[in-house]
A = this chain, B = another copy of it.
């Protein structure tokens, strides 16, 4: 099976990863959430090759995660911004951050954490089921549907 065939699968994990499971893609989106909008800045910050970055931005735009906006004419220049669909990925990013900080300790370098804009206090992310108010773990939940 090829990677691109995943888009049509019934499993939502496969469908989701067909969009964001690519090498570099989530790192590009991290920069987008940090407010980086331009090709040159992303390329320099990420250390990704220009070729791959152009490809990822194209695919993210095609999938409706980013949109390409012209910010000047002559010469034409564009910047990339998160769409609503892109912004909806924030929980995925936060979950990765939380997991990495707890389980993939940085080697020497200081860690980056998330803090509340309001209080400045570190945040403690937990997945809650809004219907029951309880925490979601692999024990309390099961998959339903044709898999």
Contacts A16-B97, A123-B131 supplied; 10 other A-B pairs, CB < 8 Å: A8-B106, A9-B109, A13-B30, A15-B104, A92-B92, A94-B141, A115-B142, A116-B129, A117-B141, A121-B131
Cβ of A26 under 8 Å from chain B: yes
Q: Complex: how many Å from CA A7 to CA B136?
A: 28
**Least Cβ distance of A11 to chain B in Å?**
6
In angstroms, Cα B63 to Cα A70, docked, is: 43
Interface size on A, residues (CB 8 A): 87
Task: Kindly provide the distance from the CB of A13 to the nearest chain B CB, expressed in whole angstroms.
Answer: 5
Q: Is the CB of B94 within 8 A of A127?
A: yes
17 contacts between A and B (CB under 8 A): A7-B104, A8-B109, A12-B96, A12-B100, A12-B112, A14-B30, A15-B104, A17-B27, A21-B23, A21-B27, A23-B23, A33-B138, A94-B127, A114-B141, A114-B143, A115-B142, A127-B128
Residues 98-147 of A contacting B (Cβ, < 8 Å): 98-104, 106-119, 121-132, 136-147
Give the B-binding residues of A (Cβ under 8 A). 1, 3, 7-24, 26-27, 30, 33-34, 46-48, 63-64, 85, 87-104, 106-119, 121-132, 136-147
A4 nearest CB across to chain B (Å): 11
| Min CB–CB distance A127 → chain B (angstroms) | 5
